[in-house]
Amino acid sequence: MGYLGWRRHIRTAIRPWRRTGSLGGRVVTADDGAQTVASPTAQAEASPGTESQSTASRPLGPWENCIISVLFLGIFPLGPVLLELLLKSQVTADSLTVTAAIYAVTVAVASNRASMLVIGFTVAFFECVLYGQDVTVVGTKGVVLKDFFGITVSAANSSPSTHSGLILLAIVVLFMTLTLERFVRHVKNHEEFFEFLKKGQS
């Protein structure tokens, strides 16, 4: 092989290296024709938005999903009763009964089990019956106060105080059931609580 053959062979061999750079970087041509090789690190630093976007769309962890779901489904629906306890240190039997009925429906709809759906709506139905019974009973002269599990329940007649303890017990049982189911769904099965994050991953 002559001198010209060796020269052509060497030029062919180093041409890919000149195009990509020794570190796999991209060749950047300036306005004056000079060529420089941009390293992968420089390219990453030049586009910081990619890393921030991936960080912003990071899905929630299993325990984060579990805690947020219990907060949204198990605590927030009890807001009227909790606020009344905070402001007055007691809760009326009417607001307790109505809130418990709504809470039972919320837990039933949020569950993916048919049995829980039936139980939740059944509990809500009986609580609505109790509320109807409360508003039709003739009131007493004064407000009746009674403590259940450390919570003072006030009523205009003696009837609500007899079943307010059962309503509080139903709320506690529903909350424990919701917490257990959310633990299994989010911590064990790694389900996503927010649907828009699940669509973003796909």
Give residue-wise pLDDT tens across range 107-126.
Answer: 999 999 999 999 999 999 99
Give residue-wise pLDDT tens across range 40-54.
Answer: 555 555 555 544 444
The yes-or-no verdict on residue 23 having pLDDT over 50 is: no
Q: Is the pTM here over 0.75, yes or no?
A: no
Q: How far is CA 192 from CA 64, 177, 185, 199, in A?
A: 10, 19, 9, 10
The closest alpha carbon to 159, from 134, 184, 124, 126, belongs to 134
**What residue segments make up the domains of the chain, in order of their start?**
3-49, 62-201
